[in-house]
Amino acid sequence: MKKMIIKVCAVLCLFAASRAFAAPKTHTVVDHAGNTVEVPNKINRIVIASLYPLPSVYCLYADSAKKLVGIPSSSMAAAKASFLVKAYPEIANAKTGFEKGGVINAEELMALKPDVIFYNAGAKASKAVFDKTGIPAVGFSTSIAKFNTIETYAAWIDLLAKVLGETDRSKKLIEYGRKIERDVKARVASIPEEKKPSAMIIYAYDNGKITTYGKKMFPEYWITTTGGINAAKSEGGVVELNMEQIYAWNPDIVILTNFNTKLPEDFDDGIVDGNDWSSVSAVQKKQVYKFPLGMYRWCPPSSDSPLSLVFLAKTIQPKLFEDYDLDKIIVDYYKEFYGITLTSGDLHTIYHPSRSAAGL
């Protein structure tokens, strides 16, 4: 009997020891909102509840969309109008009904049974909804790098790596963007202010509303980093415009985002939605451009942010960057990081996005 008791005790001790030394099922991360979040080590179902460009960055980091079970409807509109759904067709299966106009439906969100939620760290109302569900929610910030687009892209990849696991791929992606930025900044450093063109990036141009971006926004980073002057530098945030203000600024270059339906050819006759653009320098010089659309819209941070920096450099300072072969850079990037061999027709599609990509 005594031997039996000893054996039982030994077995119990071994069981207790095995439990004590078992690998943990969770780990903690500090997100961009400063919250310490406990997340599962094994994550199979992910919902990206806001921050529209993040699905593209996630797909780039993971080289897959299989674990994405929910994304915002605006992200889906961009995905279907871009190469994201071609590179990662599983993303088309992600649900969008849990989010409408930025408002989260908690019941539909929980029905997706996510292991983790990724969201815009500035969306405090959404965070309150996530807290009630009990599902771990990790915030990704748009202002984490003071609107330096390349460093924001890097910060998002870095936080994904902290949640899902660091990889050599994630480090390579970050360094690729930083290398391009270093070269661009070095080239434009010696340009005198008077030699820099003024540029305006138009966010919205629909239903009679025209908006651009002032200081401390991603577009100002794009313009100033690539050798231009932000025409709206005296303003802050998103600025609603009238034609009198546009005439006063008289930008040399106008670049249209993919958040509106307008295309450069809409400006050819100088009249757009009843507004007379014919005297604006950019229209007279035929320097109205549209951001390309690759894996996502190229104005905010996205998985194609390094390519967007090259596009803006060639658009704002074409002579300084005439040795940049944008076609080759895009083709090589897509081959290396997405495993896609682009054709000349594919490049044409990237350079000439459809109006539907606005998702309006």
Query: Tell me, what's the pLDDT at 118?
Result: 98
> Beta-carbon neighbour count of residue 343 at 10 Å?
10
> Do residues 237 and 217 touch, judged by C-beta distance below 8 A?
yes
CA distances from 16 to 10, 20, 157 (A): 10, 6, 39
Query: Tell me, what's the pLDDT at 360?
Result: 58
Q: 20-173 falls under which CATH superfamily?
A: Nitrogenase molybdenum iron protein domain (3.40.50.1980)
Q: Region 272-278: what's the mean pLDDT?
A: 95
Which residues does 106 contact at the CB level (< 8 Å), separation at least 6?
129, 132, 133
Q: Is the pLDDT of residue 268 over 80?
A: yes
Q: How far apart are CA 287 and CA 201, in angstroms?
A: 12
> Beta-carbon neighbour count of residue 233 at 10 Å?
16
How many percent of the chain have pLDDT more than 90? 83
Q: 191-358 falls under which CATH superfamily?
A: Nitrogenase molybdenum iron protein domain (3.40.50.1980)
- The per-residue pLDDT of the chain, averaged, comes to 91
Residue range 156-209, pLDDT digits in tens: 999 999 999 988 888 999 999 999 999 999 999 999 999 999 999 999 998 889
Residue range 88-104, pLDDT digits in tens: 999 999 999 999 888 89
Q: Region 338-346: what's the mean pLDDT?
A: 95
> 20-173 and 191-358: same fold?
yes
Q: How far apart are CA 157 and CA 221, in angstroms?
A: 19
Which residues does 297 contact at the CB level (< 8 Å), separation at least 6?
53, 78, 257, 258, 259, 291, 357
Which three-class secondary structure state does DSSP give residue 281? helix
Q: How far apart are CA 333 and CA 54, in angstroms?
A: 19
Could you tell me the pTM of the whole model?
A: 0.88
Domain boundaries, the chain: 20-173, 191-358
Q: Is the pLDDT of residue 340 over 60?
A: yes
Q: Is the pLDDT of residue 4 over 80?
A: no
- Residue 10 CB-half CA count within 13 A: 6
Q: Region 103-130: what's the mean pLDDT?
A: 94
Helices (DSSP H) in the chain: which residue ranges? 2-20, 54-62, 73-80, 84-87, 106-111, 124-133, 149-164, 168-188, 218-225, 243-249, 281-284, 305-316, 326-333, 344-351
Query: Tell me, what's the pLDDT at 50?
Result: 87
Q: Is the pLDDT of residue 355 over 90?
A: no
Look at the block and give the residue holding tokens 């100088």.
270
Query: Tell me, what's the pLDDT at 354?
Result: 84
Query: Tell me, what's the pLDDT at 14?
Result: 46
Residue range 17-40, pLDDT digits in tens: 444 456 689 999 999 999 999 999
Q: Which residue has the higher pLDDT, 16 or 70?
A: 70
